[in-house]
Structure 1
């Protein structure tokens, strides 16, 4: 096969920790090794830092000038496609209006369409316009879950069979149990863990209301995540809860240790395109209580206990599940969790991306022997 050049918009590597950043980082760490006929050109705001994150993976690094998606798509990307001779450009959510057939856009979710109450007016209308254009016009559209594929097809009219699945995944550390807990969580503490950015959609308010009903004075609610436009009233409740521990920045080895030693992992989100923390908690062997909304049951499979977080009795129901977990009565099938996690490694995700890229540049798969 002749060589092809693949550009990757990696500006999220310089941003906040979220699912789209994890997807870019983990697939980029693997995809170039799976497809030597593809030359990956990685564009980021800090190429030296991106190179350190990717290590020895054979890619070319380019500087992505500062600016928002409008400037990138109208000015930078059309020039970069020509200058760097890109056969296909991989972007997240937004893609440039020129050279649409050379684009692979990854739309992780369309929650701004299905759950508009969690987004500001400007964000909603910007995304409706730019994501809608990309989903209708880009040569290849990819997403991370069946739920998101169905919603993209429903909202934008792109046939679902044309939308490629490139799943999220989990990378289980090989040195299990070698980490230490953050100092704020003493060894031996029994705690419920919640991981994710603090924003109304993640439903921290429900977790706090439910936890306040748990009678045991010795248990804790450990919340890991930075404030991301969370309701100030919810932040005040978090600060006022004497049994809550809020950690903003946690090293990766400490985070895995928090997952492993948690009594239960709680994920009451109102909407997700996937739900990477659910898969991470299962990979750590920890029971999970999660929302049954949107794509979350895809992330958790049959290994989680699910809850209707929109039901009027949700706080009491979640409190009962937390009480059961702390008492050792929450059902959890560890074997089913391991089997589910095994199906979602990042190697699989990178392979799915490579298959989509080869199709985008017109490379036919080699027939099986």
Structure 2
């Protein structure tokens, strides 16, 4: 029997850095080597660049034409499924209306349903229609956390037992591959670190308000990330804080160094489908101060210090925790952090993806029988 053919929508590899991009990249780097019974066909806007990202893997590359999800799902994917003989098509959030039995749609989160205040009206409407249709109709649905699995059941009625979990992960080996710190952060600087796109949901404003309560003039708050529709008032606070350092486009080895040398990693997000930076900070051996909302405690396990970021005294609480971190008195169980991180390597995530793909192939085969 010839290998089943699996198409993967990899258009996120051409886009901004975010969790769904990391998930696609890291699982794709590993899954083909685990599954000789599957032939992977990877679709992206720049196949040469994608091949360079993935390395020397036994996959086929195809060009994905430019355009948004509506055009891809209505026109491109139905043709590609037929022309390339795909048994399963893996997409993120949205899937085509035709051939639902051949689809594995990965819905990383449904925050646009549970936390609509952080999304524009157009995005909310589009996602509710398209993601809702996909989550209800696709032959196989996967997500990245138990939290998201329960929310998919609650919002769309897809039974949780019918939603497969393919976790986000961390490359523990890479976490030890430190490069030089960015020039803006001299060696010996005591700093707290925040990593992620600058948008209201990530709660940079709370981090700045808490940091302003720290009296020590020699400590710094290092913020790594590009503006992604952050509120102008929050950007103004960031620019006005003399002890804040804002960085963008930090090379990966330098980012690992920032994680490793931070006094604490701060993750006050109000909503996540997972929280990859939390795992990365723990893998680097750094204490984490994190929100207790949504899936974040899954990402951090028992190794983080959590707080209610919506509490009236959240800034005071986080400020006191930062004082402890800068003073070296913040409780942190390094052994517990290592044990937690060990459960979530990308190799395990790739194995979960392969299992989900085989499930999808078997489900379609039974449907034909």
The TM-score range, normalised by the shorter chain, is over 0.9
Aligned-pair distance for 1:199? 0.2
Query: Alpha-carbon deviation of 1:8?
Result: 0.2
Instruction: Give 1:26-105 correspondences, 5 Å limit.
Output: 26-105=26-105
> Which segment drifts farther, 238-247 or 176-185?
176-185
For residues 362 and 116 of structure 2, the distance between their equivalents in structure 1, rounded to whole angstroms, comes to: 37
Instruction: Encode CA deviations 1:339-367: one digit per residue, 9 max, x unaligned.
Output: 00000000000000100111111189xxx
Structure 2 runs not aligned, ≥5 long = 365-369
Q: How does 1:128-277 map to 2 (within 5 A)?
A: 128-173=128-173, 176=176, 178-277=178-277
Q: 1:350 maps to what in 2?
A: 350
Q: Does 1:299 align with 2:299?
A: yes
- Equivalence for 2:361: 361
Q: Secondary structure at the match of 1:17?
A: coil
Offset from partner CA, 1:124-166 (integer Å, 9 cap, x none) = 0000000000000000000000000000000000000000000
Q: Deviations over 1:60-86 (max 9, x none)?
A: 000000000000000000000000000
Q: Distance in 2 between matches of 1:311 and 1:87?
A: 49
Instruction: Name stretches of at least 5 consecutive residues in structure 1 with no aligned partner.
Output: 365-369
RMSD: 1.1
2:367: which partner in 1? none
Match of 2:18 in 1: 18
Distance in 2 between the 1:201 and 1:29 partners? 30
What residue in structure 2 maps to residue 325 of structure 1? 325
Please report the TM-score for the alignment, with normalisation by the length of structure 1.
0.97
Q: Which residue in the other structure is 2:336 paired with? A: 336
1:131 is paired with a residue whose SS is: helix
SS in 1 for 2:173: coil
CA-to-aligned-CA distance 1:291-346 (integer Å, 9 cap, x gap): 00000000000000000000000000000000011111110000000000000000
SS at structure 1 position matched to 2:109: coil
**In 2, Cα distance between the equivalents of 1:208 and 1:348?**
36
Measure the CA separation in 1 of the matches of 2:231 and 2:220. Answer: 22
- The residue number in structure 2 matching 1:110 is 110
How far did residue 172 of structure 1 move?
2.1
Contact 2:175 2:280 in 1 (8 A): no
Higher helix share: 2
Match of 1:126 in 2: 126
SS in 1 for 2:185: coil
SS at match of 1:361: helix
Q: TM-score normalised to the size of structure 2?
A: 0.97
CA distance in 2 between partners of 1:320 and 1:177 (Å)? 32
1:267-289 residue CA offsets vs partner (Å, 9 max, x unmatched): 00000000000000000000000
Aligned to 2:289: 289
Q: Does the Cα contact within 8 Å between 2:175 and 2:284 map onto a contact in 1?
A: no
